[in-house]
């Protein structure tokens, strides 16, 4: 999918490099940008690389002052001492369209997904924080619930919904964005997986 940059505002171009389905972190990298006529807009300039290897470059408002399609970004980066080149097209647009589809829409279209551990209801076990939920009923693989939601159906924090940020199988721990109060054994939790990873 192409990056979309807002006209007169600018935005971030992103690239990830994978080997054998595993994201690789480059040692360094640069980007060169050409317009759709082949003229160089940005001359080989350093990019940012985060801890997991995602490469980014912030395109300025000055370089995005008109609506254009199919500009080309040449990503050059170093992996294991080798220079690697990748090209991607991007557009500068007046408005970025968002995908309004949510998980419930997917379930309505494909109800069989509910049978694949899509949702689980359980009672929290003893805990002393607002951000960690423990239950021996959670036995899925690491990160299985990441990006999903944890809703308290009854008990302490009833009615609150928080995003799941991590799941560790070995400890049966869900880490979530902070609830109002400490989670306790009165909290009945409905954890729902997301399909939007």
- List pLDDT tens digits, range 24-41: 999 999 999 999 899 999
The pTM for the full model equals 0.52
CATH for the 3-93 domain, from 1.10.1040.10, 2.60.40.1220, 2.60.40.790, 3.30.930.10 = 2.60.40.1220
- List pLDDT tens digits, range 79-119: 999 999 999 999 999 888 777 777 667 777 777 666 556 78
Domain ranges in the chain are 3-93, 112-192
Instruction: Please name which of 96, 78, 84 lies closest in space to residue 12, comparing C-alpha atoms.
Output: 96
Percent of the chain exceeding pLDDT 70 equals 91
**Distance between CA atoms of residues 91 and 3, nearest Å:** 7
Q: Are 3-93 and 112-192 the same fold in CATH?
A: no
- Whether residue 5 contacts residue 41, with contact meaning beta carbons closer than 8 Å, is answered with no
Can you name the CATH fold of 112-192?
Answer: Thrombin, subunit H (2.40.10)
Residues 6+ away with beta carbon under 8 Å from 190: 119, 120, 121, 150, 151, 152, 153
Determine how many CB atoms are found less than 10 A away from the CB of residue 10: 16
What are the DSSP calls for 51-120, one per residue?
TT--EEEEE-GGG--S-EEEEEEEEEEEETTEEEEEEEEEEEES--------HHHHHHH-GGGGGTT-EE
- Whether residue 21 contacts residue 53, with contact meaning beta carbons closer than 8 Å, is answered with no
Give me the pLDDT at residue 52, please.
85
The residue length of the chain stands at: 197
Residue with tokens 């693989």: 141
- List pLDDT tens digits, range 181-194: 999 899 999 998 88
With cut-offs at 50, 70 and 90, classify the pLDDT of residue 19.
confident
């Amino acid at each position: 999918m192409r990056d979309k940059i807002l006209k007169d505002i600018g935005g971030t171009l992103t690239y990830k490099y994978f080997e054998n389905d595993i994201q690789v972190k480059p040692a360094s990298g640069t980007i060169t940008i050409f317009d759709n006529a082949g003229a160089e807009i940005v001359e080989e300039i350093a990019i940012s690389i985060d801890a997991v290897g995602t490469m980014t470059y912030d395109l300025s408002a000055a370089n995005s002052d008109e609506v254009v399609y199919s500009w080309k970004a040449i990503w050059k980066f170093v992996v294991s001492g080798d220079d690697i080149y990748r090209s991607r097209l991007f557009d500068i647009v007046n408005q970025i369209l968002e995908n309004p589809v949510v998980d419930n829409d997917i379930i309505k279209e494909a109800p069989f997904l509910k049978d694949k551990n899509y949702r689980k209801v359980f009672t929290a076990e003893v805990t002393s924080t607002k951000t960690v939920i423990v239950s021996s009923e959670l036995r899925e693989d690491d990160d299985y619930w990441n990006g999903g939601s944890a809703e308290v159906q009854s008990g302490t924090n009833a009615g609150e919904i928080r995003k799941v940020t991590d799941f560790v199988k070995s400890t049966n721990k869900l880490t979530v964005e902070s609830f109002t109060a400490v989670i306790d054994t009165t909290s009945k939790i409905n954890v729902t997986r997301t399909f939007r990873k």
